[in-house]
Structure 1
């Protein structure tokens, strides 16, 4: 069975779907992506669907499930490269893609993740240095 490649770019995983997704491939991607998030500690996932001509209800639900799994694993999901025909189909099917943010292309998706990232600094941990107070 063919698998969708998952590339790591810094703290982001990039999935570029270049073939029409069959149900089994979508399920395998869901499993593979969850494992890669755990293995890499990724904070963001970008799914590029530029290559998809059709998104049926199963693939749409799978994308929503991937976003939910990613969120539970502390990673934000952004779908990029959606064609107008795909967007129209999703709306006609009544699929809302809950938990998924969208962007026009990979570059804008990376910018969106960068803006939403919370910088981890030592200043964020200042409360650890506060002296303990005891009451008499």
Structure 2
């Protein structure tokens, strides 16, 4: 099932609705990379609130998205990691050390705004 991606100003918000298959994760990577360029996005939020499990492939895919979009000039924030998912990730040694995370969508947006990427800006800066 494809992950919906919403455009909000210069940001993209991808809301993962269920556990992702490997194909879904690859499609999300491709879709975000394409849309970052098309919309000249400066920030991306990937909302994983609905995910009740995160395997190593899904975590690696999210890390890859963060690194790839960073190379295109867009900051990525992963939001909504559930407590039990965080616990399982730590137990399995899966980390997001080099990725920005936030509690929820509101905090993710606040982080991007503090970074100065400017939600709603249309002047290209």
Q: TM-score, normalised by structure 2?
A: 0.90
CA displacement at 1:118 relative to structure 2: 5.8
Structure 1 unaligned residues grouped into runs of 5+: 120-136
Is residue 84 from structure 1 mapped to residue 83 from structure 2 by the alignment?
Answer: yes
Q: For the pair shown, which has the larger CA radius of gyration, 1 or 2? A: 1
1: CA distance between counterparts of 2:28 and 2:85?
20
Structure 2 unaligned residues grouped into runs of 5+: 119-125
CA displacement at 1:99 relative to structure 2: 3.2
Count of residue pairs the alignment pairs up? 119
Contact map agreement 1:7 1:14 (CA 8 A) in 2: yes
After superposition, the Cα gap between the structure-2 partners of 1:88 and 1:44, relative to the gap in structure 1 and judged at 3 Å, is same
CA displacement at 1:88 relative to structure 2: 1.2
SS at match of 1:63: helix
The runs of at least 4 aligned residues of structure 1 exceeding 3 Å deviation read none
Asked which structure has the greater RCO (Cα within 8 Å, sep 6+), the reply is 2
CA displacement at 1:100 relative to structure 2: 1.5
Q: CA RMSD in A?
A: 1.5
